[in-house]
Amino acid sequence: MSIRVLIVDDHAIVRQGIRGVLCGHADIQIVGEAENASALFVELGAQPADVILVDIRLPGQNGIEIAQRLKREHPTVKVIMLSTYDDEEFLFGALRAGADGYLLKSASPEVLADAIRQVYRGERLLSPSLVSKLMREFQELALQASRAESGLTDQELQVLQMIAAGETNKAIGERLYWSEVTVKRKVQDILEKLGVANRAQAVAEAARRGLL
């Protein structure tokens, strides 16, 4: 059975181009086209689809809003966002909306066809160039979570970084305009929050948690 695909783009030439590159695949059938959200849901009412290709920038409801509505009203339908933008805001917006895939329009015809097959099977897919952006975001979120869990303040993290750089209490005090007594108290607070006994252990534990 063919995978039924519906194309949503406000430019007729783009829709024709996508139809043209997919028509050579026997397992993929283009069942409809739409230029906006209203036309899409009319098409869906008349002709069911398995996978919907949605341009992320559309007049009226944009692709992200369309994806949210599709996932709410047609939860079994798979959604692939198509975009000329590798902007992180678009990417994360699409993923939060529940999109099953996010491809740049510069993707080759074979990549597009394979993407349709993958999301139809229940897999998630991103353009390779976007994977590193997503990984950086997850790493930053993990770092923020680790910092929050440690209870360390920004100031204490700064001191911890200086400890890791091998600076003495005196050097830290001179840089931060603190007395050595204040530095010692701050260092002790850091040790207690990390649950360690000395500076070396603090650096090792901070590195383990991804705080440095």
Residue ranges covered by each domain of the chain: 3-131, 144-208
Q: How many CB atoms lie within 10 A of CB 118?
A: 17
Instruction: Name the packing angle between helices 199-208 and 180-194 (round to 10°).
Output: 50
- The tens digit of pLDDT for each residue in 191-208 reads 999 999 999 999 998 888
153 vs 125, more confident: 153
- Mean pLDDT for the stretch of residues 45-70: 92
Per DSSP, the three-state class of 166 is coil
Angle, alpha carbons 56-39-31 (nearest 5°): 90
Q: How confident is the model at residue 143 (pLDDT cuts 50, 70, 90)?
A: confident
CATH number of 144-208: 1.10.10.10
Q: What homologous superfamily does CATH list for 3-131?
A: Response regulator (3.40.50.2300)
User: For the CA atoms of 20, 22, 25, 29, what is the dihedral angle to 10 degrees?
Assistant: -100
| DSSP β-ladder status, 3-8 and 28-34 | parallel
Phi/psi of residue 31, nearest 5 degrees: -100, -5
**pLDDT beyond 80 at 128:** no
Per DSSP, the three-state class of 124 is coil
Q: What is the model's pTM?
A: 0.64
Contact 61, 45 (CB under 8 A): no
**pLDDT beyond 90 at 119:** yes
For residue 195, what pLDDT is reported? 92
Per DSSP, the three-state class of 30 is strand
Q: How confident is the model at residue 131 (pLDDT cuts 50, 70, 90)?
A: low
Per DSSP, the three-state class of 146 is helix
**pLDDT beyond 90 at 51:** yes
Q: How confident is the model at residue 95 (pLDDT cuts 50, 70, 90)?
A: confident
Contact 160, 191 (CB under 8 A): no
